Amino acid sequence: MQSRRIALLGMLAFGICALIAAWAWTFAGYGARPHALPDGRFTSGQSDTAQAINAIVEPPADEPSDGDEAMPTSERVERSPSTAGIWVVVRNALTRDPVPDLRLRVSWDAPHLTTEARATIEPLSEVVTDAEGRVRVPDLFAGQTYRFALDVQGYFDTTFTRVIDATRSPITIELEPLASLTVQADLPDGTPASQTVIIVSGDSGRATQFTDERGTCTFESLRPGDYQVTAQGIGGPAQAPRSITVRRGTPERLRLPVERLVTIVVHAAGLPLQPSPLPPMALRDDTPARSQPEDWILLDTFAAPRAATPSENGTWRFDHVAKGAYTLEVEFDGTLWTARLDVAASRAEEHYTVTFAKQR
């Protein structure tokens, strides 16, 4: 009986010591282990791991990072233990000037998704740069990759993917400025060529615009590089292209001479005009400078040859004809008749009497 009582007292003493040890362990901060959340944050609990993560996210107050030195002190000390507000500075890569009033959308990076699918991801935050091109993006986690999408015109490559190192703030984004090209289209007498199609083509694509009443049009947001520019009057052929090199951030100007388009009326000689009705006549452009690839033809109806039906008085009328050399073709009963024609394009309407010759 005495030995049983001693055993029970020993077990009780051991239990009390175990409880005291467990309480001391918890009080010292070694028992509350954090639980990782899906987004990478940690619950409260000051384990060695949590302390290490907090040390990465928040630099010591007495050793500010290089970027934080230029930012307000109040912004640096407001960081939460597990997240960091990151300063983003947006600048023009050419002039180094800040880009103000720029909307910045930040979202998780999802490289496994398509571009269309990534566009549907709800942004984590939307912020706007201030007058100095700065903005503070809250709640970013160290080691995570984010996509920064910028709503801005006049620059290209406006979507960036960055891995956040919260000890390095701010993030500097330099935007490559695009260029612009203003085209002045003039007729041979110096009159502005209004409502003329201007075609700009380069490695990055092709664009078309109509000139205004002053004969000008401006192409914005062009990537730096070499371009070819041509003019095409309404209903007329495309002219020989002019080459120009566009530099980044530089507004370029190009004066482009435009051919006058006139109406010609053809009076035929040497043709058997007995058939009724008379057959149509084709006008083929033989001017070498206008022998453009098909890519330069704005509409298929502008491509040579063009056809005209005869009028009641036995003449053929062609509209929107530029100065140059042409071949006229007409067919009677399986026989082809041709004639050469040089158009002066000096008046709005010009009449030509042409002698045709039999070809077969």
Most confident stretch, 52-61, 96-105, 152-161? 96-105
User: Does 33 score more than 90 pLDDT?
Assistant: no
Q: Which is more confident, 29 or 230?
A: 230
Domains and CATH numbers, the chain: 48-176 (2.60.40.10), 179-257 (2.60.40.1120), 261-358 (2.60.40.10)
**Burial of 325 (C-beta count, 10 Å sphere; 0-12/13-18/19+):** middle
Asked whether 149 and 121 are in contact (CB, 8 A), the reply is no
Mean pLDDT across the chain: 72
pLDDT of residue 168: 59
Please give the pLDDT value at position 321.
Answer: 85
Does residue 85 have a pLDDT over 80?
A: no
Cα–Cα nearest to 81, from 61, 106, 51, 107: 51
Q: Please list, in sequence order, all residues whose beta carbon lies within 8 angstroms of the beta carbon of residue 27, skipping any fewer than 6 positions away.
A: none
Structure confidence at residue 215 (pLDDT) = 92
In terms of Cα–Cα distance, which of 104, 106, 182 is closest to 150? Answer: 104
Residue pLDDT, tens place only, 257-316:
888 888 999 998 888 766 567 788 898 888 765 544 444 343 333 344 577 878 877 889
pLDDT of residue 274: 63
338, 266 in Cβ contact below 8 A?
Answer: no
Q: 78 pLDDT exceeds 80?
A: no
SS (H, E, C) 77-105: HCCCCCCEEEEEEEEECCCCCECCCCEEE
Given this model, what pLDDT does residue 143 score?
73
The lowest-confidence range among 169-173, 222-226, 239-243, 346-350 is 169-173
Q: Quick one: which of 266, 277, 264, 259 has its CA closest to 323?
A: 259
pLDDT at 27: 46
| pLDDT attached to residue 273 | 67
Residue 117 binned pLDDT confidence (cut-offs 50, 70, 90): confident
Q: Is the pLDDT of residue 84 over 90?
A: no
Asked if 112 and 65 touch (Cβ cutoff 8 Å), the reply is: no
CB atoms within 10 A of CB 52: 10
Whole-number pLDDT of residue 166: 52
Out of 30-34, 68-72, 167-171, 178-182, least confident range:
30-34
